[in-house]
Structure 1
Amino acid sequence: MPDTPALGAAGLAALEERLAHDLLTLNWRARPWLPALSHGGQPVIDVLIIGAGQAGLAASMALAQQGIAAVLLDRAATDYEGPWATTARMETLRSPKELTGPALGLPSLTFRAWFEAQWGRSAWDALDKIPRLQWMDYLRWYRRVTRADVRNEHAVTAVRPRADALVEVDVHTPTGSATWLARRVVLATGRDGLGGAQIPAFMDGVGHASKGGLWAHSSDVLDYATLAGKRVGVIGMGSSAMDSAGTALECGAASVDLIARRTAMPTINKSKGSGLPGLTQGHHELPDAWKWRIRHYINVQQVPPPRGSTLRVSRHAHAFFHFGCAVQQVTQQGQALQVATSQGRFAFDFLILATGFAIDWAQKPEFAAFAPHVRSWGERYQSPPGEDDRELFDSPDLGPVFELREKSPGACPGLDRIHCFCYPAALSHGTVSGDIPAISDGARRLASGIAGLLYAEDVEQHFAALQAYAEPELLGDEWTPADTRQRVLPESPPT
């Protein structure tokens, strides 16, 4: 196949023209069919998506194919949605470059098409993995060409489902606060979508960097240049630990010690091994025991950091990997932290916790109105002995359209109008609501499901419109009635 020349802006313009034609020939943005609603003189949004990262954008584009216009709210400034240009610190994505991500089956909407249009086929062939900031540039382009209706610097402060088929959403913006009304709300809120950083108990009483302390979570906003010349400890040995350690070393840290409770580094990515189309499409229909067993197995096996991320750290002589080092206590002594482990004490000037995320509603006060009513998997399913798993226990028990379910029927009317399209949906639906490999599958499932739910709610209006539909297919001049008597056989005389 001949090489595609690098055309820069001209190549990108040609791609955008091709994409526009693809969308036209597919009739992608279907004719709007939902009745316009208002309540108390206020317009009602059909679908309000909280979060305009890759999950929110994919959901918006999938809804557009169903003829449903969504509005996306994001607290970040324009072009800084999601973690890619803010708190993420990997050099490249962990996913293979060939994955099509949020393209929804449109070749001209893929990262590869975007990349080749600007830099050519040879550059694509030479590319190993996608640079993190380049992925952010692609998502910025994706937002523009899909015409996603994103409202930036719109922070959601409260979500309240109601019994009258509406959801109230309080929103704070640079110009003030307001309450929005929506028929459906989608939580496209990312990896920590129903909680936040998981902070081990051994950090109790130790001051966080935001309050002048000496530690931060790997997901926190942190100027790593301030770690120059310091002894840095990193708790954890996964991908985020490597990203944080590598960044600290490149910013001039005097030393970085990575501390892990596990006795050896995992080397096989079992999660990657589970990425089969059959599981992607069929996870939601599996028996509870199999859902739990698969997700628990992947959790227990642990996902290793990528090879490139690990080499990024190990190439520094002052990086140290410690295994079988369970942390027992962390205390501050002057301007240093003492970290007691099962193998002895460490002294650090700064500590980074790469300890993952927890489903913890207390960290999401904007969801306080409905959080106590959400049924979790721990209330749905009794795990077998030896398969206890806090993450799975706390995961929300979701319906077929990612909708939240009540733990006590009738206690929170309208809860099922809130759809969880973020990582905590993994136990109910598989990893289709956040990670790059199957985000399009999840977005299509969400959008088609919401379309069906909205039609069912308005079925009387749709039936009335069907009855009133009067556009003639025929005008009456297309035929001439025959004289039937001239064409039928004469009647036989009676015998």
Structure 2
Amino acid sequence: MSTSPPPLPTPEHLTRAARDDLAALGFPAPAWLPALTGPGPADVAEVAIVGAGQSGLIAAAALKWDGLTDIRIFDGAAPGAEGPWTTFARMQTLRSPKTQVGSEFNVPNLSVRRWYESRHGAQAWADLPAIPRTEWKAYLDWYAAVFDLPVRHGSEVLDVAPEGALVALTVRREGRIERHLARTVVLATGLDGAGAWRVPTFVSDALPRDRYDHSNGPIDFERLRGARIGILGHGASAFDNAITALRTGAASVDLCFRRPRLPRINPHRALENAALMTHYSDLADETRWRIARFFRRQDQPPPLRTFETALAQPGLRLRPATPWLGLRERDGAIEVDTPAGPLVFDHLILATGMAVDLAARPELATLHDKVALWGERFRPAPEEADERLASLPYLDRHFAFLPRTADDAWVARVFAFNVSSIVSHGPHSTSISGHRHALPRLVRGVERRLLLDAEGGLLPFLADYAVPELHVADDFEARLSGCAAPQVQA
């Protein structure tokens, strides 16, 4: 006799079930880090996390699970606007396969699948080709609530600097400047954490600011109704913005790129295996450098669904082998020079990625020139040189910065779990598919740093430990000594 599957939990029941699972697995572990001696120990966080996107939240959950009790998460966005998901991200679905998610710590009731099924049903998940972007953001919000993660919204971190044996964060919040002390800091600042989204200077020098936008920034698409739009770039962001512009009413979009044809193969999929993502930092410097250069040369195609959706939009023209050689305003329009002749647009969108520039990050104002870079630690053959990769930080196996000089040893208390790590830890370490494998390295590194800092107090801590396990009367030993010796029978 066949039996029907058990009913799926409601969203409210799933929250309770997830918390019950956590409790059954010992969450959170007992606190283990001795309190700081000296004035104001309560004002010192064990870990300060900059960024409340997916990496920041999952890192905080893992650290809390391991018994850290004072974790503070700072994010400049308002509640619900953390990360790119409701701001500049315009893709319909995530690129990562829906089964390659590492946020759930092998607890099914914490998984995005169980969360999605509780809202839409098991068949809806089975039919889902990829996780919708807005559903992923809603899942992350639920995840933070399950773990009761303390996010301090509207908090822009302006600097991270040494303060004796600690790290000081300068934070602007609600128009006020605050100062927070922490033993360790995790920078979970995402895809622009090593620099800034920048428009090529040949565009910004030639046009007023209202004639162009970067694809990874706010864009008023309503203002572009009826406009002829030129997009430079061929990645997912270029196609996402083309779709949004045309669906909002743009007259046309010309998507221009330098390559003679779009990439067909996504080499990122080749690295998505447990061994590589877990032990990537143990590879030789030469191997990691060459892999990073390979990805720079090969790139990846736009997601298939995004590509097909874009091609279905009336008004889209793909222009391969069409680099922009120069441009100018003429008769109220923008004239762009290309090898095939001029193109005329009303507005430009630059899907040109991030410029690596540690000094451009406000939180790195003090730190940026004190950390070791790949260009200082590794000398490739001349034909394998790459200025962009050489400008990225050379991180240790736990994502910590390494100091240029012994005087700046404090930088090893700061961990770069963001795009800065792509040479040291591979292109997947901070992605959705990489969290399961790479994030434990970060957690072990933070905890190792905290333990070594507390090493001098371990013996006093043991000497002061006074939690009895054997409960007997105070005079038990005295009464025992007065007892007759036990009789032994032959």
Q: Could you tell me the TM-score, scaled by structure 1's length?
A: 0.91
Deviates more, 1:256-265 or 1:401-410: 401-410
Instruction: Determine the C-alpha separation between the residues in 2 that align with 1:286 and 1:96.
Output: 26
How much identity, in percent, do the aligned residues show? 36
- Partner of 2:143 in structure 1? 142
Task: Judge conservation of contact 2:277–2:429 (CA < 8 Å) in 1.
Answer: no
- For 1:81, give the aligned amino acid: E
Which of the numbers 262, 274, 278 marks the counterpart of 1:281? 278
Q: Helix, strand or coil: the match of 1:222?
A: coil
- Partner of 1:493 in structure 2? none
Change (3 A) 1:334 1:408: farther
Instruction: Determine the C-alpha separation between the residues in 1 that align with 2:208 and 2:185.
Output: 33
- Partner of 1:22 in structure 2? 21
Which of the numbers 363, 378, 396 marks the counterpart of 1:399? 396
Instruction: Determine the C-alpha separation between the residues in 2 that align with 1:3 and 1:313.
Output: 40
- Partner of 1:161 in structure 2? 162
Q: Describe the superposition over 1:300-358 as per-residue Cα deviations: whole angstroms up to 9, x where unpaired.
A: 11110011111121112311111111221122235322211222211110111111112
- Partner of 1:417 in structure 2? 413
Instruction: Determine the C-alpha separation between the residues in 2 that align with 1:283 and 1:86.
Output: 32
- Partner of 2:50 in structure 1? 50
- Partner of 1:462 in structure 2? 458
- Partner of 1:197 in structure 2? 197
Task: Judge conservation of contact 1:49–1:73 (CA < 8 Å) in 2.
Answer: yes
1:313 aligns with 2:310: yes
Instruction: Determine the C-alpha separation between the residues in 2 that align with 1:31 and 1:429.
Output: 31
> What is the deviation of 1:277?
0.8
Instruction: Determine the C-alpha separation between the residues in 2 that align with 1:473 and 1:362.
Output: 55
- Partner of 2:173 in structure 1? 173
Which of the numbers 354, 362, 370 marks the counterpart of 1:373? 370
Instruction: Determine the C-alpha separation between the residues in 2 that align with 1:101 and 1:2.
Output: 30
Q: Describe the superposition over 1:445-482 as per-residue Cα deviations: whole angstroms up to 9, x where unpaired.
A: 21122112211111122221112223344457699689
- Partner of 1:441 in structure 2? 437
Instruction: Determine the C-alpha separation between the residues in 2 that align with 1:32 and 1:335.
Output: 65
- For 2:258, give the aligned amino acid: R
Q: Helix, strand or coil: the match of 2:423?
A: helix
> What is the deviation of 1:178?
1.1
Q: Helix, strand or coil: the match of 2:131?
A: coil
For structure 1, the residue ranges without an aligned partner over 5 or more in a row are: 490-495
- Partner of 1:36 in structure 2? 35
1:350 aligns with 2:347: yes
Instruction: Determine the C-alpha separation between the residues in 1 that align with 2:484 and 2:291.
Output: 73
Change (3 A) 1:208 1:77: farther
- Partner of 1:492 in structure 2? none
- For 2:193, give the aligned amino acid: G
Q: Could you tell me the TM-score, scaled by structure 2's length?
A: 0.92
1:242 aligns with 2:239: yes
- Partner of 1:188 in structure 2? 188
Q: Helix, strand or coil: the match of 1:232?
A: strand
> What is the deviation of 1:160?
1.0
Instruction: Determine the C-alpha separation between the residues in 2 that align with 1:82 and 1:433.
Output: 17
Q: Helix, strand or coil: the match of 1:103?
A: coil
Task: Judge conservation of contact 1:58–1:104 (CA < 8 Å) in 2.
Answer: no
Task: Judge conservation of contact 1:191–1:434 (CA < 8 Å) in 2.
Answer: no
Task: Judge conservation of contact 2:401–2:411 (CA < 8 Å) in 1.
Answer: yes
- For 1:236, give the aligned amino acid: G
Change (3 A) 1:44 1:228: same
Deviates more, 1:380-389 or 1:276-285: 380-389
Task: Judge conservation of contact 2:400–2:445 (CA < 8 Å) in 1.
Answer: no
Q: Helix, strand or coil: the match of 1:33?
A: coil
Task: Judge conservation of contact 1:432–1:440 (CA < 8 Å) in 2.
Answer: no
Instruction: Give the superposed CA RMSD.
Output: 2.4
Q: Describe the superposition over 1:380-410 as per-residue Cα deviations: whole angstroms up to 9, x where unpaired.
A: 1112343333332121101122111122332
- Partner of 2:295 in structure 1? 298
Task: Judge conservation of contact 1:432–1:441 (CA < 8 Å) in 2.
Answer: no
> What is the deviation of 1:2?
4.8
Instruction: Determine the C-alpha separation between the residues in 2 that align with 1:432 and 1:456.
Output: 29
Instruction: Determine the C-alpha separation between the residues in 2 that align with 1:171 and 1:6.
Output: 43
- For 1:447, give the aligned amino acid: V
- Partner of 2:109 in structure 1? 108
1:451 aligns with 2:447: yes
Instruction: Determine the C-alpha separation between the residues in 1 that align with 2:245 and 2:38.
Output: 52
Q: Helix, strand or coil: the match of 2:264?
A: coil
Instruction: Determine the C-alpha separation between the residues in 2 that align with 1:336 and 1:40.
Output: 64
